[in-house]
Amino acid sequence: MASSNRAQFSSRLGFILAAAGSAVGLGNIWGFPTQAASNGGAVFLITYLVMVFILAYPLLVAELTIGRFGASNPIRSLISVAPKHKLLGSAVGIAGMLGVSGILSFYAIVAGWFFGFLIGPLLSAFGFDSAAAWLEGFGIARNLVLMGVFMLLTVLVVRNGVADGIEKWSTRLMPVLFVLFIAMVGYTLLQPGAMEGLKMFLVPDMSHFSPDLMVSAMGQAFFSLSIGVCTMMVYGSYLRKDANLPKTAAQVALLDTGVAFVAGLLILPAMFVAQKNGVQIYSESGALLDGDTLVFSVLPAMFDTMGSAGLIVGVAFFALMVIAALTSSISMLEVPVACISEELDKDRKTVVWWVGGAIALFSSLIIFNFGSMFGTVISVTTEYVQPILGVIMALIAGWIWKRNEVLEELSHGNPELANSTFWKVWPTYVRVVCPILMALVFFWPLFK
Ligand code: PFF
């Protein structure tokens, strides 16, 4: 299947870091801890972990396997596993490409804000207070500029292709992220008030458990592992045949949940440290302030109370957010770029500018109509497009793709697979259990 000159990740570690880079992003570091904080802490953590392993992990294997088998862009890969259903394959590939472009269009706006909060304190440290205030305030021009800068960074990395762009930057940036993160957790846990947050995150209070919580935890697991919108499929297509897919997917899932867990160890204690320092984290009604308010007001307020170290910790935190966002956004942009450049046989260096430009244009539309579009695009892409395409991919892998081809593909890099427990369970699991579980995610809210 593979054309011999197709780009590949140059090492297994490079692939794992790139795929983990896609998975680890704003969703883990901010989305997960704030969801955990507002959904009972430890109970959300446990439900999320269960969802990752019973639902997201098996699907991650499916997406990666389809991608590696096809060794092409997602449209072609899907057609190659379902040759009698060309229309279905193309439709799912195109839907994934549009879905992931939609995700990138809001992601770039949010990542731009983080970029503003990274540069802002540095500018004010050098006396440029009004420029800093502009970057940290909410305005159309500021949103456009910051989104544009972030999209430009994404385009520049993706333009250089797989080994030289995506892999090089993911391998450099991911370890920096881990180190920065651990240092910040250590610092925060030593502050007064931190233990209260730690207790909330680690000691379960079952009274918080509800069906809604399960739905949120499932959604978070999907978003966090970048499932359903062909990102993992396109990365899988660049993966070498000697990699053991179930093992690689498990490593990626573990890294992703590991980072979400550490983010919880950072953010929940940090909230209570901030509260001890007089910062409001709960609204009058007793509910936690929402995610945006927390990250862009509570955390900088906490950094301020740290004296001169605060500037460094604050810059480190926002640098970390931008790094995490960038390794995710490059994986998103890769999907439409691979599809369009390969399907239309166009030079990737040209296509990347056109696609990046088109997505930036759509982001601008969202910025101009922020109130009506921002929340809608997030909800449509993450709550509907990701689960629906996820179900369809599970159905394709489980029902349409020939079982002997699946076995053969999974056996590359894992010759004993045919006799393993994984192979005894996984095919039926993605065929039956995953679609049922995912249908629940999708339909549950409709029956409330
Ligand atoms: N997994 C990323 C995060 O947690 O921030 C978001 C994401 C990346 C979603 C890539 C979808 C995607 F295709």
- DSSP sequence for 131-174: HHHHHHS--HHHHHHHHHHHHHHHHHHHHT-IIIIIIHHHHHHH
Residue 400: predicted pLDDT: 95
- Give exposure, 414-432, as e/b (b: 16+ Cβ within 10 Å): beebeeeebbeebbebbee
CB 41 less than 6 A from any atom of ligand 1: no
Q: Taking the alpha carbons of 56, 59, 63, 64 in that order, is the dihedral positive or negative?
A: positive
Task: Name the token pair of 262.
Answer: 């550490």
Q: Determine which residue's CA is closest to atom 11 belonging to ligand 1.
A: 226
Cβ neighbors of 387 (< 8 A, separation 6 or more) are 219, 222, 228, 438, 441, 442
The low-confidence residues of the chain, meaning pLDDT below 50, are 1-4
Q: Return the ligand 1 atom nearest residue 100 CA.
A: 13
CB 228 less than 6 A from any atom of ligand 1: no
Residue 2: predicted pLDDT: 43
Q: Which of 226, 257, 295 to mutate to test the pocket of ligand 1 (most atoms within 8 A of CB)?
A: 226
CB 103 less than 6 A from any atom of ligand 1: yes
Q: Determine which residue's CA is closest to atom 12 belonging to ligand 1.
A: 226
Are the beta carbons of 107 and 328 closer than 8 angstroms?
yes
CB 108 less than 6 A from any atom of ligand 1: no
Q: Which of 104, 106, 262, 332 to mutate to test the pocket of ligand 1 (most atoms within 8 A of CB)?
A: 332
Cβ neighbors of 86 (< 8 A, separation 6 or more) are 79
Q: Which of 22, 331, 377, 379 to mutate to test the pocket of ligand 1 (most atoms within 8 A of CB)?
A: 22
Q: Return the ligand 1 atom nearest residue 325 CA.
A: 5
Cβ neighbors of 110 (< 8 A, separation 6 or more) are 26, 325
Q: How far is the CA of 385 from the centre of ligand 1 (A)?
A: 13
Q: Which of 114, 328, 379 to mutate to test the pocket of ligand 1 (most atoms within 8 A of CB)?
A: 328
CB 226 less than 6 A from any atom of ligand 1: yes
Residue 441: predicted pLDDT: 67
Q: How far is the CA of 226 from the centre of ligand 1 (A)?
A: 4
CB 101 less than 6 A from any atom of ligand 1: no
Q: How far is the CA of 329 from the centre of ligand 1 (A)?
A: 8
SS3 content of the chain, % helix, strand, coil (to 5): 80, 0, 20
Residue 6: predicted pLDDT: 67
Q: Find tokens 């993450």 and name the residue.
A: 382
Distances in Å between the Cα of 202 and the Cα atoms of 198, 220, 390 are 6, 18, 30
Are the beta carbons of 162 and 238 closer than 8 angstroms?
yes
Backbone angles phi, psi at 282, to 5 degrees: -110, 145
Q: Determine which residue's CA is closest to atom 9 belonging to ligand 1.
A: 226
Q: How far is the CA of 138 from the centre of ligand 1 (A)?
A: 24
Q: How far is the CA of 60 from the centre of ligand 1 (A)?
A: 13
CB 381 less than 6 A from any atom of ligand 1: no
Residue 411, burial from CB neighbour count under 10 angstroms (0-12, 13-18, 19+): middle
Are the beta carbons of 389 and 92 closer than 8 angstroms?
yes
Task: Name the token pair of 315.
Answer: 């810059």
Helix (H, G, I), strand (E, B) or coil at 10: coil
Q: Find tokens 């996820």 and name the residue.
A: 390
CB 397 less than 6 A from any atom of ligand 1: no
CB 26 less than 6 A from any atom of ligand 1: yes
Strands of 51-131 (E only): list them.
none
Q: What is the DSSP letter of 444?
A: G
Task: Name the token pair of 193.
Answer: 């008030």
Closest CA to 394 of 442, 421, 428: 428
Q: Which domains does the chain have, with CATH numbers?
A: 12-447 (1.20.1740.10)
Q: Return the ligand 1 atom nearest residue 324 CA.
A: 5
Rounded distance, CA 359 to CA 361, Å? 5
Q: Find tokens 């001169």 and name the residue.
A: 308
Residue 9: predicted pLDDT: 73
The one-letter amino acid at 424:
K
Rounded distance, CA 132 to CA 199, Å? 36
Distances in Å between the Cα of 443 and the Cα atoms of 44, 168, 291, 384, 436 are 20, 41, 25, 10, 10
CB 257 less than 6 A from any atom of ligand 1: no
Rounded distance, CA 82 to CA 70, Å? 10
Report the run of H or E that residue 302 belongs to, with start and end. Answer: helix 299-304
